[in-house]
Amino acid sequence: MWKKVMASIIVMIAVISISTVGFAASASNIKPKVDTTKYQVITPEKSSSASDKKVVLISGKAPEGTKIIIDVYGAIDLTGNNYSLEKLPGKDDYILISSKTTKSGALGFGEEVELILGVNKITVTFDVNGVPSVEKILYYYEKEQLEKSPRNSFIGSSTK
- Give the pLDDT score at 110: 95
- The per-residue pLDDT for 158 is 41
State the pLDDT at residue 28: 59
Cα 158 to Cα 160: distance, rounded to the nearest angstrom = 6
CATH number assigned to the domain comprising residue 118 = 2.60.40.10
Report whether 117 contacts 142 (CB < 8 A). Answer: yes
Answer whether residue 127 is part of any domain: yes
For 39-63, what is each residue's pLDDT tens digit? 999 999 999 999 999 999 999 999 9
Containing domain of residue 38, as a range? Answer: 32-158
Question: Model confidence over 2-34: pLDDT tens digits?
Answer: 778 787 888 777 777 775 655 555 655 666 687
Q: Is residue 38 part of a domain?
A: yes
Tell me if 56 sits within 8 A of 137, measured CB to CB: no
